[in-house]
Amino acid sequence: MALLITDECINCDVCEPECPNNAIYQGEEIYEIHPHLCTECVGHHDESQCVVVCPVECIIIDPDNTETQGQLLLKYKALMKQQPE
């Protein structure tokens, strides 16, 4: 279940640095999330850090990218293997 930033985003810049997978980036108008990099913080934190810090609650589960907790954990492990040590 990758997350999605809705058009209610106010570009406050607080979510991007919180993402441990660097999945959040500045899009043309609002921040966006790369679904192939988003693990909803599984493997890093107990809850999605971008959701925790968002002042306007505009980060939701992306209905087009649903994944189980197990799938998110596998994605996390694959991403960690790709990172240089």
Q: What angle is formed at CA 35 by the lines to CA 29 and CA 41, rounded to 5 degrees?
A: 105
Six token digits for residue 26: 């500045």
pLDDT at position 85 over 60: no
Rounded to whole angstroms, how far apart are CA atoms 52 and 55? 8
Total residues belonging to the chain:
85
The DSSP symbol for 30 reads S
Q: Please tell me the predicted confidence (pLDDT) of residue 84.
A: 63
* pTM: predicted TM-score of the whole model, two decimal places: 0.90
- Domains defined along the chain, listed by start: 3-82 (3.30.70.20)
Smallest CA-to-CA distance from 24 within 68, 78, 35 is with 35
Mean model confidence pLDDT for the chain? 95
Rg for the chain, CA atoms, rounded: 12
